[in-house]
Amino acid sequence: MKKILHPFDQKFYCGSGERFFPVYIVITDERGYLSFTGVQAPIHGGNANGGCGQINMEYNHRNPAENDTRYSTPIMPDELRFSKDWDVDTWYSLLHLWHEYHLKKVESVPEIILSLLNALPDTDRTPIWC
């Protein structure tokens, strides 16, 4: 499995001011483990205007117990501009699956969860780092 998702655009500050940039998430099952990783506002050359890696910790989760306590003001869904076929519920579901199944052995992940992940809306855009 290799899923490339573009769930939303997010506002970031750059040299010319504030504007929306894409956020991408890649889900893979390489080496037998389910892996989630993301990049906020990737730019050519491999850098990004936002974070890279486990970006899920910066966002508010449906279940507050899953919020990362290192972030006192998580990014709320109303700050995001959702892509086609994405909405708050789909985003919250993805965050929950990321929380529960990141780095779990694929063989231990229930088939229904793998089906849910495969059913997430794909993107027709491919970030440069994929």
Pairing of strands 80-82, 2-14: antiparallel
Q: What pLDDT score does 66 carry? A: 97
Question: In whole angstroms, what separates CA 37 from the centre of its chain?
Answer: 7
Q: What pLDDT score does 80 carry? A: 98
Q: What pLDDT score does 5 carry? A: 97
Instruction: Tell me the chain's radius of gyration from C-alpha atoms.
Output: 14
Place of tokens 């700050």: 79
Q: Which residues of the chain have pLDDT under 50?
A: none
Q: How much is the pTM?
A: 0.92
H helical segments located in 1-130: 88-101, 111-119
Which two three-digit tokens encode residue 103? Answer: 């780095």
Q: What pLDDT score does 14 carry? A: 77
Give the C-alpha separation, 14 to 12, whole Å: 6
- Whole-angstrom CA distances from 46 to 20, 40, 51, 52, 53 are 18, 12, 12, 10, 13
Give the C-alpha separation, 24 to 102, whole Å: 16
56-69 residue pLDDT tens: 999 999 999 999 99
Domain chopping of the chain, boundaries: 2-119
The residue ranges of DSSP E strands in the chain, in sequence order, are 2-14, 17-28, 35-40, 52-53, 80-82
